[in-house]
Chains A and B, each alone.
Chain A
């Protein structure tokens, strides 16, 4: 049962353009969402997060949008740079800031930035 779904295994974007990575979830109890970036042979690196009480969070080139009614979130990267090429994981948590609940991850989207 995939509670967090990333339906695009890979995405290719030209350098300088906008990259949009999508994520859907099914568990209504999720109240905090995170994006992680992962290079081969390294651990996931935290990028940006959003609480369910917000619909947008921005940090530099990265913006996360949350549509609670659609149970959908997206990560926008603009402008895309070659160093952004990595696997991006969407993750969700059901107890924001409180308990010790683990993260549920999606399968990841491999973003390839082409020069």
Chain B
């Protein structure tokens, strides 16, 4: 069964460093998303990406964040200068065109120290 894969599963980084989280969405999907979940809190929408551009972003997705689809398979989230409060599980998701059910990856646990 096709699935969304994310790497790495756990990333530890120092405050102020840049980090790139990687995702391979399901191959025939057209919409791509990043969400995050701070420990003990709800899953929060960060950004959606369609047709090689951002289609929507939340207030959380400020100038420190960027997304890219550098080739036909990868979808990345970059945080330029990480802060302690960026520590969270980051989930990538993708969906096809006809239905709004998004399928999520296993997540990357980002720990900023």
**Cβ–Cβ contact A96 & B100, under 8 A:** yes
**Cβ–Cβ contact A100 & B48, under 8 A:** yes
Q: Is A43 an interface residue (CB 8 A)?
A: yes
Q: Could you tell me the distance in whole angstroms from the C-beta of A6 to the nearest C-beta in chain B?
A: 9
Determine the main DSSP class of A at the interface with B: loop
Which of A91, A97, A101, A108 contacts B56, CB < 8 Å?
Answer: A101
Chain B stretch 22-38: residues in CB contact (< 8 A) with chain A: 31, 33, 35
Interface set of B (CB-CB < 8 Å, partner A)? 4, 6, 31, 33, 35, 41-50, 55-56, 58, 91, 93, 97-107, 109
Q: In this complex, what residue of A is CB-closest to B44?
A: A105
User: What is the CA–CA distance of A34 and B100 in the complex, to the nearest angstrom?
Assistant: 9
**List of A residues within 8 angstroms of B105 by Cβ:** 43
Q: When each residue 71-108 of chain A gets 1 if its CB lies under 8 Å from chain B and 0 otherwise, what string results?
A: 00000000000000000010101011101111111111
Q: Is A49 an interface residue (CB 8 A)?
A: yes
**List of B residues within 8 angstroms of A16 by Cβ:** none
**Cβ–Cβ contact A97 & B43, under 8 A:** no
**Cβ–Cβ contact B101 & A49, under 8 A:** yes
Give the interface size class of chain A. 20 to 34
Known contacts A42-B106, A100-B31: A105-B50 contact under CB 8 Å: no
Give me 24 A-to-B residue pairs in the complex whose CB atoms sit less than 8 angstroms apart, sorted by A's number.
Answer: A41-B107, A41-B109, A42-B106, A42-B107, A43-B4, A43-B93, A44-B104, A46-B102, A46-B103, A49-B100, A49-B101, A93-B100, A96-B100, A97-B98, A99-B55, A100-B48, A100-B49, A100-B56, A103-B100, A105-B45, A106-B42, A107-B41, A107-B42, A108-B43
User: What is the CA–CA distance of A58 and B104 in the complex, to the nearest angstrom?
Assistant: 22
Q: In this complex, what residue of A is CB-closest to B103?
A: A46
Q: Is A10 an interface residue (CB 8 A)?
A: no
User: What is the CA–CA distance of A107 and B32 in the complex, to the nearest angstrom?
Assistant: 22
**Cβ–Cβ contact B56 & A103, under 8 A:** no
**List of B residues within 8 angstroms of A34 by Cβ:** 100-101
Known contacts A89-B43, A107-B42: A45-B104 contact under CB 8 Å: yes
